[in-house]
Amino acid sequence: MDITLEQAEKILAAAKAKSTELGLKMNIAIVDAGANLKAFARQDNAWLGSIDISIKKAKTARFFDFPTGVIGSLSQPGGSLFGIEHSNGGLISFPGGLPIKVGDVVIGGIGVSGSTVENDHAVAEAGLAAL
């Protein structure tokens, strides 16, 4: 099972709406079940450096089927996943990336970057709520 373009666009629209509601400028990436970019939006004047971060957050969430914040908590010095962010061509291990599920099946991932990790996570959650 894989995310459809229609589902990706619905998630993207809801995430953009939440970002606008919060007065933020975000980069929002949606990847499919294979962690390939499916949809992307860079809101006007969103940070250029956050483009790559949003895509990597989405991929990280899909590669491991966990929120990126959870991976971050496990990757601290002494943690069971310490150093994982150096694998797979670079991962992001702080909040803002979430797996996209239909029931128990992961069909993709969303990654959001452009503000605090708390805001990034809130915008990603708003996107998921649209599905």
pLDDT one-digit tens code per residue, 47-67: 999 999 999 999 999 999 999
Residue 110 to residue 39: CA distance in whole angstroms = 9
From the number of C-beta atoms within 10 Å of its C-beta (0-12, 13-18, 19+), residue 55 rates as: buried
CATH code, domain carrying 49: 3.30.450.150
**Residue 81 confidence (pLDDT):** 82
Per-residue model confidence (pLDDT) at position 75: 84
Q: CB count, 10 Å around CB of 40?
A: 17
121 is in which domain, residue-wise?
5-129
The span from the first CA to the last CA of the chain, in angstroms, equals 15
pLDDT digits (tens, 9 = 90+) for 73-123: 878 888 888 888 888 888 888 999 999 999 999 999 999 999 999 999 999
- Indicate the number of domains in the chain: 1
pTM above 0.85, yes or no: yes
Give the type of residue at 87. Answer: S
